Amino acid sequence: MVQNSYSSGAGSKCVEVATDAASVHERDPKDTTQPARAVPPAAWTAFIDFSIVQAL
């Protein structure tokens, strides 16, 4: 898993992300008892693109 080095001061807005050929896995590092969520790469790309537009 990779955690973004840029986060809120309290670290409350971080996610960890890992990829393989078939999926992108995301999880909340504050609750490691929950499994990572896996989505197809195209869905992850659409989510990131949407997030960027919403942030503008």
Q: Where are the domains of the chain?
A: 14-55
Give the chain's largest Cα–Cα span.
33
d(CA 33, CA 40): 22
pLDDT at site 46? 96
pLDDT at site 44? 95
Asked whether the beta carbons of 34 and 41 are under 8 A apart, the reply is: no
Phi, psi (deg, nearest 5) at residue 55: -80, -20
d(CA 54, CA 41): 20
Residue 48 has pLDDT above 70, yes or no: yes
pLDDT at site 1? 53
Find tokens 């942030």 and name the residue. Answer: 55
Q: What is the pLDDT of residues 5-38, one digit of tens each?
A: 555 556 567 888 999 999 999 998 888 899 999 9
